[in-house]
C-alpha cells in the first residue's frame, strides 16, 4: 500500500509496481481522478478518504469532491478509509459522502464491503452475502449510508453480537431520569 496523493506520485507508483512485479494499492489518492484511466489500465485500486477533498497542501491541489465517482466511472476499484485508523468506524459516512457527490449507491456500498475484501485478497471468504462467505452482517434500522441510522443487530461469523454496551446502558439510565 503506497500512501500518495499527487497524480505524479501515483504515476511513479504504477511504474514502480509494474517494474518490480508488485500488486500495488494507492491510499490517499487526492488527485487520483487525474490519472484514473492509468489506474484502471494497471488494475490499481485506490483507498480514499473522501472527506480529504479540499486542497490542503501541494499534494492535494487537485483534490475534489467527486474523486470517488470519477474513479468508479473509469473502472477503478475503490474503498474508503479515514487517514486516522481510530475513525474506521465512520467508513459508512465516507461512502455516504461519496454517494452524495455522484458515486452510485451500489458502488458506495461495495466500497465498504466487497471491494476492501477484494483489494486485500479476502474476497473468497468475506465482503459478500453468499454461500461460502463468512457471515459477518449488520442489520440497519434505515439507510446504512445515513449517519443517523443505527445498527439493529450485528452478526460476526454467524453469531449474533449482544447489542448492549456501556454507552447504551448509560443512555438508558439517564433517559429514565429525564422521564
DSSP of 18-84: HHHT----EEE-TTGGGGHHHHHHHT--EEE-TT--S--SGGGTT--TTHHHHHHHHT--EEE--SS
Average pLDDT over the chain reads 90
Least-confidence region, from 3-12, 55-64, 65-74, 75-84: 55-64
78-80 and 46-48 beta bridge pairing:
parallel
> Which cell numbers hold the place of 141?
434500522
Segment 14-36 shows an average pLDDT of 96
What are the angstrom distances between the C-alpha of 116 and each of 20, 27, 165, 177? 23, 12, 27, 43
pLDDT of 86: 66
Q: Which of 16-20, 50-54, 166-170 has the highest mean pLDDT?
A: 16-20
Q: Residue 28 forms beta bridges with which residues?
A: 4, 48
| Residue 19 pLDDT | 97
Buried residues in 70-84 as b, exposed as e (16+ CB within 10 A): bbbbbebbbbbbbee
Among 127, 71, 124, 76, smallest CA distance to 101 is for 71
Provide the pLDDT confidence category of residue 105 given band limits of 50, 70 and 90.
very high
Neighbours of 151 (CB within 10 A): 13
pLDDT of res. 126:
87
Q: How far apart are CA 153 and CA 50, in angstroms?
A: 27
Under 8 Å CB-to-CB from 8, ≥6 apart: which residues? Answer: none
Amino acid at each position: 500500500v503506497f500512501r500518495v496523493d499527487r497524480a505524479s506520485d501515483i504515476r511513479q507508483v504504477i511504474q514502480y509496481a509494474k517494474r518490480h512485479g508488485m500488486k500495488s494499492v494507492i491510499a490517499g489518492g487526492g488527485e487520483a481522478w487525474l490519472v484514473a484511466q492509468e489506474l484502471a489500465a494497471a488494475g490499481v485500486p485506490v483507498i480514499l478518504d473522501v472527506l480529504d477533498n479540499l486542497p490542503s497542501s501541494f499534494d492535494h491541489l487537485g483534490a475534489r469532491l467527486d474523486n470517488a465517482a470519477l474513479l468508479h466511472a473509469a473502472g477503478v476499484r475503490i474503498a474508503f478509509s479515514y487517514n486516522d485508523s481510530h475513525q474506521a468506524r465512520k467508513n459508512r459516512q465516507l461512502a455516504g459522502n461519496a454517494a452524495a457527490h455522484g458515486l452510485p449507491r451500489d458502488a458506495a456500498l461495495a466500497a465498504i464491503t466487497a471491494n476492501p475484501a477484494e483489494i486485500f485478497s479476502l474476497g473468497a471468504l468475506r465482503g459478500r452475502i453468499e454461500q461460502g462467505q463468512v457471515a459477518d452482517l449488520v442489520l440497519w434500522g434505515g439507510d446504512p449510508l445515513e449517519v443517523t441510522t443505527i445498527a439493529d443487530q450485528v452478526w460476526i461469523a454467524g453469531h449474533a453480537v449482544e447489542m448492549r454496551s456501556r454507552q447504551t446502558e448509560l443512555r438508558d439510565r439517564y433517559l429514565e431520569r429525564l422521564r
